[in-house]
Amino acid sequence: MPERRSQRSIGGLTRRQVLGAALGAAALGAVGFRPRTAGAAQPPIRIGFCVPLTGPYGSEAQDQVRCAQLAVREFNASGGLNGRKAELLVRDSKLSPDEAATRTLELIENEHVDFVAGSLSASVQLAVNNITKQHRILYNSISQSDAINEPKDFSRYTFHEALNPTMTTDAVGRYAFPRFGKRVVFLLPDYAYGHEMTRGFKRVGKEFGIEVLSEIRHPLGTTDFSVFFPRIRALKPDVLVCCNFGRDQQITLKQATDFGLKRAMKIVYPILLYTARLAVGPRAYQGVVGGTSYYWGLEKTVPAAKQFNDRYRAAYGGRVPSDYGAFGYAGVRTILASVRQAGSVETDAVIRRMEALHYDFYKGPEYYRACDHQAVQSVLIVESKPAPADNQFDVFKILEVYGPNRVHLRSCRELGYS
Amino acid sequence: MDLIGATAVARGWRLWEPIARHRALAVMLFIAVLPWVTPYQALATNILIYGLFAAGFNLLYGYLGLLSFGHAALFGGGAYACGIAIVRFGLPWYAGLALGTLGGMAISLLIGALATRTRGIYFAMITLAFAQSLYYLAYQAQGWTGGENGLRGVNVRRVELFFLPLDFTDPVARYWLMAALVGLALLALSRILNSPLGAVIEAVRENEARARACGYDVAATRLMTFVLSGGFAGLAGALQALELSTVSIETLDYATSGLVVMMTLLGGAGTFFGPFVGAAVFALIQDVFSLWTVHWQLLAGAIFMLFVLFLPRGIWGYLLEWSEQRQATQSS
């Protein structure tokens, strides 16, 4: 037997081997050609959307999904990309950067998404951005962060539809310091969000010559703020700038109201969340002034806001969109609008269209700045008020709108772009 | 005892025996089929990483009998050591992995030198306290760790493996590279458990006084086991840093310490394969349920409670017990 085997292989290839190789090559060829024929079936345009559906920001994230789906439905109803529909792949980041990174890898590697949008919380969006830029996938972030504008994290695949702390505090400070006074105390949570916001307020405060009396830091998740209040009151500030968020914000305002702090000074917040105000009620937020990216009441003056609100009301039983929810709408709609302009889903072409985009989708004119793809947009200054009996959603009064031409960002040179 | 039954048992046992004898190889086989049973590769890689982390934890908890609530410090410490080596010093990926492992060992040496003098709840509390200290240290040291924003840019695009270039952004290549490394680590773990040291570790768990009376250095054994456990946890952390290309502050969070305890208990503490089973089941529960409903935590919690109530030895622990019982009843 061994001789036979060696005899056969002496002459090089046997007939069987040749036939086998030919068959194999044919099979490979068939496999190789398959995608070309499958391409004719027009797969949907896929957008990955990873937001913290569970956890403390769940209600904001769920509204982001509702708004993003609205943008996708509008795109599909108006014909898609020459008939090609879009689809939103929603994932739960669980407010964890690791989970968000894993989910983003899944969306890119297994679902083969064309674009990624979403995320709430600075660390989560930075983790997602780090992955999308490595895989060269366009990512539109919809959560506040200063770091994402900086050269270390930015890439040409990175877009930032949300406000950033610098522009938010610039507008709020510009409104508050000349009106309420120059003696300021800061109360901030001791982490990135609090630090970035405070840095922004001090930056704009320099212009108005504010005097920082004290900077009081509290740990994230503090439950008793009343220990800080006697000290704050003794300092006799004109303005108390609080930079905390979520549950910390709600507890601070409840306790400050009970303590009578509001009678002695004006309380100012960089961000007043619509969802938090609805949840907590009017008393704690009464008279507090703060910034926001969007409030539905803008519809009285801005036609795009009226359109957006009406579509949302029609789709979701008469309710109105929230501030962070609206980011979800704009974040997805700008991508789809650029896809339609580019006539393809090819990343580079879409990036070029998005860079050139001047849009008015829900809050007035916006555009992405060339150097860091930051959405230059208006900042609203609002004051909390009790809702009238006929409209439970009417909780803010718009005091001022700083339009895109009045919003101050860090300059490209300041950020380190040449 | 009838003869036929005995041969059937013998045959059954023969099937079981190779798995028990070559447990590291058996786990590698499990690792090899994992990408086909999970919904996507990144999840399989996560199971791999957490499985290794849990196996390292199990060395301390399951084999030595010390319940640590601060293993996040070793996992996160390894992740940050690897991340900082790559981001701040521009070292290659393998140096990152080596430093991650060493980082885990160094931190466990530091914590262990104090913590292994205590027992039971005190050990759990001290390890937890150290882990929290490290968490806040990393939180404050923004220049090194990125603080709350996390350490970004642990980006490895290409890996040169013995002059064989691998594309690290390709999920399949990434999985196999990680699987090979985890396989090697498991061989090492199996070797440790089979060695005289492994026997002493179990002797200390069973009866500390007797082990001491037999002339073994109990204190040194505890410390050495803790450091070895830290090495595995550190390697797992370093692998996660490479996989996700970021290190988040959450890796040092006490929830991560809790997670590894849950995974190990779910799979079966004190068994070689249990931690991997636990990691796989936990990850799948989390993944599948969170796609269905935002209330996935309720379901995951209920399942965990059911396991604690009805399968206190864990899934794999129960399977082992069941097969042993069957063998015992059939051979008697």
Question: Using one digit for the tens of pLDDT, what is the confidence trace for A66-90?
Answer: 999 999 999 999 999 999 999 999 9
- Give B114's pLDDT tier (boundaries 50, 70, 90): very high
Q: Which of A95, A123, A157, A197 to mutate to test the interface with B (most CBs of B within 10 A)?
A: A123
pLDDT in tens, B194-237: 999 999 999 999 999 999 999 999 999 999 999 999 999 999 99
- Give A190's pLDDT tier (boundaries 50, 70, 90): confident
Tell me the chain B residues in contact with residue A123 when contact means C-beta distances shorter than 8 Å: 148-150, 248-249
Which residue, among A80, A44, A51, A82, has the nearest Cα to A67 in the 3D structure? Answer: A51
Note whether A45-163+297-377 and A166-292 share their fold: yes
Tell me the chain A residues in contact with residue B148 when contact means C-beta distances shorter than 8 Å: 122-123, 191-193
Lookup result for tokens 């890996």: B159
Instruction: Report ipTM for this prediction.
Output: 0.89
**Which residues sit opposite A139 in a β-bridge?**
A116, A158
Q: What CATH number is associated with residue B192?
A: 1.10.3470
Which residues fall within 8 angstroms of residue A245, CB to CB, at 6 or more apart? A189, A193, A271, A273
What is the b/e burial string over A188-208, where b = at least 16 CB atoms within 10 angstroms of the residue's CB?
Answer: bbbbbbbbbbbebbbebbeee
- Give B16's pLDDT tier (boundaries 50, 70, 90): low
User: What does pLDDT average to over chain B?
Assistant: 90
Look up the domain containing B95 and give its range: 3-331
B112: three-class secondary structure by DSSP = helix
The CA-atom distances, in angstroms, between A325 and each of A87, A295, B329, B331 are 18, 11, 63, 66
| Any A CB within 8 A of B136 CB | no
Contact A366, A360 (CB under 8 A): yes
pLDDT score of A418: 80
B119: three-class secondary structure by DSSP = coil
| Any A CB within 8 A of B149 CB | yes
In the predicted structure, residue A164 carries a pLDDT above the cut 70? yes
Give the amino acid at B151: L
| Any A CB within 8 A of B147 CB | yes
Domain A166-292 has CATH 3.40.50.2300: yes
Closest chain A residue by Cα to residue B252:
A98
Partner residue facing B149 (CB), from A54, A103, A122: A122
pLDDT in tens, A94-130: 889 999 999 999 999 999 999 999 998 889 999 999 9
Contact B150, B248 (CB under 8 A): yes
B260: three-class secondary structure by DSSP = helix
| Any A CB within 8 A of B294 CB | yes
Which residue, among A146, A148, A144, A100, has the nearest Cα to A124 in the 3D structure? Answer: A100
In the predicted structure, residue B57 carries a pLDDT above the cut 50? yes
Determine whether the interchain pair B294/A92 forms a contact, defined as Cβ–Cβ distance below 8 Å.
Answer: yes
Contact A259, A346 (CB under 8 A): no
Determine whether the interchain pair A123/B251 forms a contact, defined as Cβ–Cβ distance below 8 Å.
Answer: no
Contact B166, B173 (CB under 8 A): yes
pLDDT score of A15: 54
Which residue, among A94, A132, A93, A99, has the nearest Cα to A113 in the 3D structure? Answer: A132
Determine whether the interchain pair A192/B148 forms a contact, defined as Cβ–Cβ distance below 8 Å.
Answer: yes
Q: Which of A102, A129, A164, A243 to mutate to test the interface with B (most CBs of B within 10 A)?
A: A102
In the predicted structure, residue B331 carries a pLDDT above the cut 90? no
In the predicted structure, residue B7 carries a pLDDT above the cut 50? no
Tell me the chain B residues in contact with residue A52 when contact means C-beta distances shorter than 8 Å: none
Domain count, chain B: 1
| Any A CB within 8 A of B244 CB | yes
B281: three-class secondary structure by DSSP = helix
pLDDT in tens, A128-145: 999 999 999 999 999 999
pLDDT score of A7: 41
Determine whether the interchain pair A126/B290 forms a contact, defined as Cβ–Cβ distance below 8 Å.
Answer: no
- Give A208's pLDDT tier (boundaries 50, 70, 90): very high
Sequence-distant contacts of B186-192: CB under 8 A, at least 24 apart? B186/B24, B186/B27, B186/B28, B186/B52, B186/B55, B187/B24, B189/B24, B189/B55, B189/B56, B189/B59, B189/B232, B189/B272, B190/B23, B190/B24, B190/B272, B192/B59, B192/B228
| B 98-127 → A contacts, CB under 8 A | none
Tell me the chain A residues in contact with residue B40 when contact means C-beta distances shorter than 8 Å: 105-106, 109-110
pLDDT in tens, A299-357: 999 999 999 999 999 999 999 999 999 999 999 999 999 999 999 999 999 999 999 99
pLDDT score of A352: 97
What gap in Å lies between CA A339 and CA A354, rounded to an integer? 9
Min Cα separation B170/chain A (Å): 8
- DSSP letters, A275-321, are HHHHHH-HHHHTT-EEEES--GGGGGT-HHHHHHHHHHHHHTTT---
Residue ranges covered by each domain of chain A: 45-163+297-377, 166-292
pLDDT in tens, B61-100: 999 999 999 999 999 999 999 999 999 999 999 999 999 9
Give the amino acid at B58: N
**Which residues sit opposite A8 in a β-bridge?**
none
Average pLDDT over residues A248-263: 93
Which residue, among B263, B258, B234, B186, has the nearest Cα to B75 in the 3D structure? Answer: B234
What gap in Å lies between CA A44 and CA A42, rounded to an integer? 6
A19: three-class secondary structure by DSSP = helix
pLDDT score of B167: 87
Which residue, among A316, A276, A270, has the nearest Cα to A293 in the 3D structure? Answer: A270
Partner residue facing B43 (CB), from A92, A106, A193: A106
Q: What is the 3-state secondary structure (H, E, C) of A171-224?
A: HHHHHHHHHHCCEEEEEEECCHHHHHHHHHHHHHHHHHCCEEEEEEEECCCCCC
Determine whether the interchain pair A126/B244 forms a contact, defined as Cβ–Cβ distance below 8 Å.
Answer: no
- What is the sign, positive or negative, of the torsion defined by CA atoms of B317, B323, B324, B328? positive
Which residues fall within 8 angstroms of residue A334, CB to CB, at 6 or more apart? A140, A159, A161, A354, A357, A359, A361, A368
User: What does chain A come to in residues?
Assistant: 418
Q: Which of B149, B250, B256 to mutate to test the interface with A (most CBs of A within 10 A)?
A: B149
Closest chain A residue by Cα to residue B248:
A97
pLDDT in tens, B245-269: 999 999 999 999 999 999 999 999 9
- DSSP letters, B76-93, are HHHHHHHHHHHHTT---H
What gap in Å lies between CA A292 and CA A287, rounded to an integer? 15
pLDDT score of B19: 72
Tell me the chain B residues in contact with residue A96 when contact means C-beta distances shorter than 8 Å: 248, 250
Give the amino acid at B64: L
**Number of residue pairs across A and B with CB atoms under 8 Å?**
95
Closest chain A residue by Cα to residue B149:
A123
- Give A4's pLDDT tier (boundaries 50, 70, 90): very low
Closest chain A residue by Cα to residue B241:
A98
Tell me the chain B residues in contact with residue A147 when contact means C-beta distances shorter than 8 Å: 149
pLDDT score of A80: 94
Tell me the chain B residues in contact with residue A152 when contact means C-beta distances shorter than 8 Å: 152-153
The residues on A that touch B, with CB distances below 8 Å, are 53-54, 58, 62, 92, 94, 96-98, 101-103, 105-106, 109-110, 122-123, 126-127, 129-131, 134-135, 145, 147, 152-153, 191-193
| Any A CB within 8 A of B301 CB | no
CATH class as words, domain A45-163+297-377: alpha beta
Min Cα separation B287/chain A (Å): 9
Min Cα separation A394/chain B (Å): 28
Min Cα separation A164/chain B (Å): 14
Residue A84 is classified by DSSP as: B
What gap in Å lies between CA A305 and CA A321, rounded to an integer? 10
- Joined together, the tokens standing for residue B266 give 């779910």
pLDDT score of B85: 97
| Any A CB within 8 A of B240 CB | yes
- Joined together, the tokens standing for residue B219 give 């204190």
